[in-house]
Amino acid sequence: MGCFEEVSQEGPQTNQHTDERSICLHAFSDLSHVPPATFIYLLKDCYAYGTNKATSKFKILLQLVKAALHNGPQPGPFTYAVQCMYIVPLLGKTYSEGFSHMLTSSLKHLKSVESVKKDFLEAKHLAAQLILDILDSVVPHENRILVKLLETFEIELRDMAYALYGSELDDDLVKAREHLRQYVKCFMESESNAIAVALITRFSIKCCDESFLIKLIESNQLDIAEECATFMGKEMISLVIQKYLDMQMLKSANKLVKEHDLTEEFPDVSYLYKESLVKKLAEKGCWDIAEIRAKKETKLMEYLVYLAMEAGYMEKVDELCQRYSLEGYFHSLVPEKVFCGSDYLDLKKLDVEEIVWVDETNGLLNATSCIEGFKIIGMDCEWRPNFEKNSKPSKVSIIQIASDKIAFIFDLIKLYEDNPKVLDSCFRRIMCSSNILKLGYDIQCDLHQLTQSYGQLECFQSYERLLDMQKLFKWVTGGLSGLSKEILGLGLNKTRRNSNWEQRPLSQKQKEYAALDAVVLVHIFHEHIRRQPQFGVSEGCKAEWKSHVVSSHFTHLMKIIPLLN
């Protein structure tokens, strides 16, 4: 039966274990003479004997229970399952909720079986009685299981009336609703809101008001709030939408407006949501996706131009204005009021003397010799963003290596195509040098991308004296820009982060962006050292950052291991 393949294989099976397994196998293959209590305790034994992880065991047992409920339980699978639900809590909390979920889930596919429809209708009354027993704490099930029983057995008010009064007359329906209202009030007072709303909506109990909805929203129980508002009507849905707008929850507000056809009442919500989406994409540097989202609406495209100007991304401003004929809109703006360059750090503020573009062998050799003379370098790399789901990242396009005054940008794609051996040799000289401290930010991610892109090269698989600044300053948030602001007083303009790094030639702004990401690491490190107390700085400060320096000789180990074997 699948489940028993998990039974521990350590040592020979005893006759007792063999007999137990035979009993289980027989019981699950024919439930016609197996009482619910026996079935549940055999199920528990199956779970206890299993050696897999809990999730795996649960999945196997779920399939077993689904199959077993087809095998003649008396008087029928739905009635049998309800009887089992009375017994399950006796197993304790370890098993109760999981087994209850297993039983209710196993019944779903049986609803379409014609031969058990009569049993389903009869079991509804028994299930309604079980629900009352749970509400009265006679049978200790969790609220989540109570909700699942309501859904699985499609319990209606008349079922509850029959369980309470033995009839489904109109007066009994009224009394049943009032009886259930008392449970709802108790659940609301104890803030068991999910079960309260489940009872309210299923049995049409008018027991909540505007304050209850607001309370649900403010406690972030949004799904429950929306379910309750939908039951209460259009006025309450509008209230929830307005509350979402007040809290700047534009996505949720837009969803409700669409679902309930309230565009006439909230005409601006759709645009506000699109505007917020374009802004979020721009802030992440996803300009191409932002442009696609804004493409069909001139007003949104104008807003994207404004965002690009605000971020100081002037080449993007020019590109958008030319492509969509927005020069008139651009001239209507006052640039100095939109963008203030002093808000960000740049190469001029760091007194960087030169950016060197390296895309041929002689330049590579000269740059390598120059870098070997530095004691500390910053490193970073860039690749073209790929926003397609489940697609591989693009190949690393450039790698930047810098001192505090000069930055080299290596065109990895061209250098690899022209002379991979020289590229490998030069970067091994840099990466494996014990004389150079190499700084990066989340540098293991960059190395992973480099090895994925250029796996044939050894230079990115071994390194000496690597310091990840993210780990040295792990309490600082906001990425490299946040670290720069924390240590140097100004953040970095990251609007070009997701630009096309495979285009050639790169724009001057792209080169400056790339160079700054490497240079700033060196300046941050120097400033961190400078801030240390003068007394004992040579030892105490060095000990602090040295504890984060790592080395790796993966390639060499891979070559040695076969020899050791």
- pLDDT tens per residue across span 536-558: 444 545 567 888 898 887 544 34
For the domain spanning 354-564, the CATH number is 3.30.420.10
Under a CB-based contact definition with an 8 Å cutoff, are residues 386 and 335 in contact?
no
User: Which of 565 and 242 is assigned the larger pLDDT?
Assistant: 242
User: Which of 56 and 9 is assigned the larger pLDDT?
Assistant: 56
Extract the tokens encoding 21.
């397994």
pLDDT at 387: 65
Question: Strand 549-553 vs strand 396-402: parallel, antiparallel, or unpaired?
Answer: unpaired
Separation of alpha carbons 336 and 454, rounded Å: 44
User: Which of 414 and 168 is assigned the larger pLDDT?
Assistant: 414
Question: Is the dihedral angle over the CA atoms 534, 538, 539, 542 positive or is it negative?
Answer: positive
Separation of alpha carbons 211 and 217, rounded Å: 10
pLDDT at 244: 94
Cα 79 from chain centre: 40
Find the range with the poorest average confidence among 214-218, 333-337, 370-374, 530-534: 333-337
Query: 93 vs 90, 130, 141, 488, CA distance in Å?
Result: 9, 18, 9, 55
Let me know if 524 is exposed, middle or buried by CB neighbors in 10 A (0-12, 13-18, 19+): buried
Annotate 305-352 with DSSP letters as a single string: HHHHHHTT-HHHHHHHHHHHT-HHHHHHS-HHHH--GGGB--TTTTT-
Let me know if 322 is exposed, middle or buried by CB neighbors in 10 A (0-12, 13-18, 19+): exposed
Under a CB-based contact definition with an 8 Å cutoff, are residues 501 and 513 in contact?
no
Under a CB-based contact definition with an 8 Å cutoff, are residues 160 and 149 in contact?
no
Separation of alpha carbons 244 and 199, rounded Å: 25
Under a CB-based contact definition with an 8 Å cutoff, are residues 357 and 409 in contact?
yes
Work out the pLDDT band at 109, boundaries 50, 70, 90: confident
Work out the pLDDT band at 53, boundaries 50, 70, 90: confident
How many Å from the N-terminal Cα to the C-terminal Cα in the chain? Answer: 42
pLDDT at 511: 95
**Backbone dihedral angles phi then psi of residue 344, each to the nearest 5 degrees:** -125, 155
Decide: helix, strand or coil at residue 534: coil
**Backbone dihedral angles phi then psi of residue 264, each to the nearest 5 degrees:** -65, -40
| 117 has pLDDT over 70 | yes
| Per-domain boundaries in the chain | 3-155, 269-339, 354-564
Side chain identity at residue 489, one-letter code: G
User: Which of 141 and 31 is assigned the larger pLDDT?
Assistant: 141
Separation of alpha carbons 109 and 70, rounded Å: 11
**Backbone dihedral angles phi then psi of residue 459, each to the nearest 5 degrees:** -65, -25
pLDDT at 531: 85
Residue 478 DSSP one-character state: S
pLDDT at 7: 37
| 336 has pLDDT over 70 | no
pTM of full prediction above 0.85: no
Separation of alpha carbons 103 and 36, rounded Å: 12
Residue 394 DSSP one-character state: P
Taking each helix axis from N to C terminus, what angle separates 222-232 and 193-203, rounded to the nearest 10 degrees?
20
Token pair 């006025």 in the structure block, residue: 235
Query: What's the whole-number average pLDDT of the chain?
Result: 86
Segment 447-470 shows an average pLDDT of: 93
- pLDDT tens per residue across span 61-92: 888 888 888 888 899 999 999 999 999 999 98
Nearest to 102 by CA among 155, 156, 23, 44: 44
Decide: helix, strand or coil at residue 401: strand
Count the helix, strand and coil residues of the chain and give each as a percent rounded to the nearest 5: 65, 10, 30
Percent of the chain with pLDDT strictly greater than 90:
61
Taking each helix axis from N to C terminus, what angle separates 157-165 and 117-135, rounded to the nearest 10 degrees?
70
Separation of alpha carbons 270 and 257, rounded Å: 8
Under a CB-based contact definition with an 8 Å cutoff, are residues 27 and 42 in contact?
yes
Please count the CA atoms within 13 angstroms of the CA of 188 that sit on its side-chain side: 22
Can you give the three-state secondary structure of 447-459, one letter per residue?
HHHHHHHCCCCCC
Q: E-assigned strands of 133-173?
A: none
